[in-house]
């Protein structure tokens, strides 16, 4: 049974369908692993064992009757603690929301439950999801799979850690500027940032509603495909025969390689070579307005985040980690006219990007230009925290600013990843390309 802890969600689902895995035994195995782990308290904010066992028992009965609801019926996963869960506290990683208990599930959680998936519990995150580092001294900082002294990536830190440490078959997170992809890359996982609006945000604690998205962190592209389909209530993309032969890809040189560290660049360069060897044609492109778009971030993100949370933050500012609190306060003095103008400019850049990349099947960037930084230093050195956070999110934020769907896959060099970016509405193509890339890089 211990081998179940490292299997993909899809393989567990196939085992259940074949009668080789009992969902109740599977859920108990994960719950026992969580109980036995010396890091689980840093990963899970709270567990839902009664719910999990009831869902597993129902899945077992459906499997016995041959009426399973989805390929992942009976598979246990974790949920970032900003997805509302009926009767169970949802606190979004902040003491500001302590003891907040919603009365209904977030819509994506409700859809996953209807498809037979088992909810193990809620995972830790950065306060209100506003940092890419995953450091949270106010509640807990989950351990990086490679070195517990290094940052796990955020804000979906616990979602990544639960999967990487074998304490869930997959984790569901959110991504506003990189919060699925950063913890995925630093823990050698696949992360899928869906296009804005592709998955519903009903019952999801907001950060920046115009950028917020939902996405899975998992072991394979196949898992990401199945999880996304369940939450979207659509058929999964057909990944059979996925190939890179004849595909035209573009490496975005603008901004994405500035100040990049050696390991992320080496991992990316090696990955691109292997994609070419698998038949892809790869061009290098410069899009100067990407740098201009990135310069809009200090206006767009903090203004909306602070506008959403200012009353609660200022009513109890000492309840927050100062570095995260000051990120919110960065939006305090942004004028309404500047905010509107920034969005109008960004919309123009998005249209220009769409035109300039239309000939490509996907655009490629290194998922993160730096390696995971040290947690202790991040907690004590403000300048280091600010610089590390900005660099951490710089490449992932390109996808959010341009309104794209993005998948990051591991390069094979630990804690480094390559991201494939496409226009919204082309998620099926993205998943097929990512499947082919995963195969080429494995």
Q: What is the pLDDT of residues 8-53, one digit of tens each?
A: 999 999 999 999 999 999 999 999 999 999 999 999 999 999 999 9
Fold match flag (2-232 vs 248-296+322-441): yes
List pLDDT tens digits, range 97-132: 999 999 999 999 999 999 999 999 999 999 999 999
Measure the CA–CA gap between 400 and 212, rounded to whole angstroms.
9
- Residue 228, pLDDT above cutoff 90: yes
**pLDDT band at residue 257, thresholds of 50, 70 and 90?**
very high
33 touches 168 (CB < 8 A): no
Residues in the chain: 442
Q: In Å, what is the CA distance from 61 to each residue of 19, 20, 56, 220, 367?
A: 11, 14, 9, 28, 42
Dihedral-angle region of residue 429 (phi above 0 means left; psi in -120 to 50 means alpha; beta otherwise): alpha
Neighbours of 284 (CB within 10 A): 10
The arithmetic mean of pLDDT across residues 202-214, rounded, is: 98
**Hey, what are 256's tokens?**
């994405």
Q: What is the DSSP string of 404-439?
A: -EEEEEE-SSTT-EEEEEE-TT-HHHHHHHHHHHHH
State the CATH class of domain 2-232.
alpha beta
**CB environment 143-152: b (16+ within 10 A), e (fewer):** bbbbbeebbb
Calculate the average pLDDT of the chain: 98
**pLDDT band at residue 162, thresholds of 50, 70 and 90?**
very high
Q: Which pLDDT score is estimated for 316?
A: 98
Q: Which residues are catalytic?
A: 80, 155, 179
- Residue 1, pLDDT above cutoff 90: no
Measure the CA–CA gap between 248 and 79, rounded to whole angstroms.
36
| Burial group, residue 359, by CB count within 10 angstroms (0-12, 13-18, 19+) | exposed
**pLDDT band at residue 360, thresholds of 50, 70 and 90?**
very high
List pLDDT tens digits, range 303-321: 999 999 999 999 999 999 9
Return the CATH number of the domain spanning residue range 248-296+322-441.
Answer: 3.90.1300.10
The arithmetic mean of pLDDT across residues 161-180, rounded, is: 98
Residue with tokens 């992932």: 396
127 touches 94 (CB < 8 A): yes
Q: Which of 365, 349, 354 is closest to 250 using CA atoms? A: 365
398 touches 365 (CB < 8 A): yes
List pLDDT tens digits, range 55-67: 999 999 999 999 9
List pLDDT tens digits, range 131-140: 999 999 999 9
List pLDDT tens digits, range 259-292: 999 999 999 999 999 999 999 999 999 999 999 9
161 touches 151 (CB < 8 A): no
Neighbours of 78 (CB within 10 A): 31
Measure the CA–CA gap between 160 and 180, rounded to whole angstroms.
8
- Residue 170, pLDDT above cutoff 90: yes
Spans of all domains in the chain = 2-232, 248-296+322-441
Measure the CA–CA gap between 313 and 317, rounded to whole angstroms.
5
């Amino acid at each position: 049974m211990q081998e179940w802890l490292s299997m993909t969600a899809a393989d567990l689902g196939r085992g259940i369908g074949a009668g080789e895995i009992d969902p109740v035994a599977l859920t108990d195995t994960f719950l026992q692993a969580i109980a036995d782990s010396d890091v689980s308290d840093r990963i899970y904010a709270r567990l839902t064992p009664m719910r999990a066992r009831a869902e597993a028992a129902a899945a077992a009965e459906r499997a016995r009757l041959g009426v399973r609801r989805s390929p992942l019926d009976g598979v246990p996963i974790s949920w970032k603690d900003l997805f509302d869960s009926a009767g169970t506290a949802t606190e979004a990683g902040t003491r500001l929301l302590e003891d907040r208990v919603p009365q209904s599930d977030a819509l994506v959680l409700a859809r996953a439950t209807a498809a037979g998936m088992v909810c193990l519990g809620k995972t830790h995150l950065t306060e209100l999801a506003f940092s890419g580092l995953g450091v949270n001294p106010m509640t807990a900082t989950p351990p990086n799979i490679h070195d517990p002294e290094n940052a796990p990536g955020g804000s979906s830190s616990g979602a990544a850690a639960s999967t990487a440490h074998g304490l869930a078959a997959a984790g569901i997170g959110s991504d506003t500027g990189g919060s699925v992809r950063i913890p995925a890359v630093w823990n050698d996982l696949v992360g899928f940032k869906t296009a804005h609006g592709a998955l519903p945000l009903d019952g999801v604690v907001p950060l920046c509603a115009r950028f917020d998205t939902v996405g899975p962190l998992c072991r394979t592209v196949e898992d990401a495909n199945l999880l996304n389909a369940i939450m979207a209530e659509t058929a999964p993309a057909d990944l059979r025969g996925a190939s890179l032969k004849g595909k035209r890809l573009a490496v975005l040189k603008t901004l994405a390689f500035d100040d990049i560290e050696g390991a992320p660049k080496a991992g990316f360069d090696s990955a691109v070579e292997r994609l070419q060897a698998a038949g892809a044609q790869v061009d290098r492109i410069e899009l100067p307005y990407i740098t201009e778009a990135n310069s809009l971030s200090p206006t767009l993100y903090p203004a909306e985040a602070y506008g959403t949370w200012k009353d609660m933050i200022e009513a109890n500012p000492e309840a927050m980690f100062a570095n995260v609190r000051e990120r919110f306060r960065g939006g305090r003095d942004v004028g309404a006219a500047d905010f509107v103008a920034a969005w109008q400019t960004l919309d123009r850049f998005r249209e220009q990007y769409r035109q300039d990349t239309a000939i490509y099947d996907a655009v490629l960037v290194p998922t993160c230009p730096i390696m995971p930084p040290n947690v202790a230093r991040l907690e004590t050195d403000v300048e280091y925290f600010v610089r590390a956070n900005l660099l951490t999110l710089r490449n992932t934020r390109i996808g959010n600013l341009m309104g794209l769907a993005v998948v990051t896959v591991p390069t094979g060099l630990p804690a480094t990843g390559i991201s494939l970016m496409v226009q919204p509405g082309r998620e099926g193509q993205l998943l097929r390309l990512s499947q082919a890339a995963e195969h080429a890089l494995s």
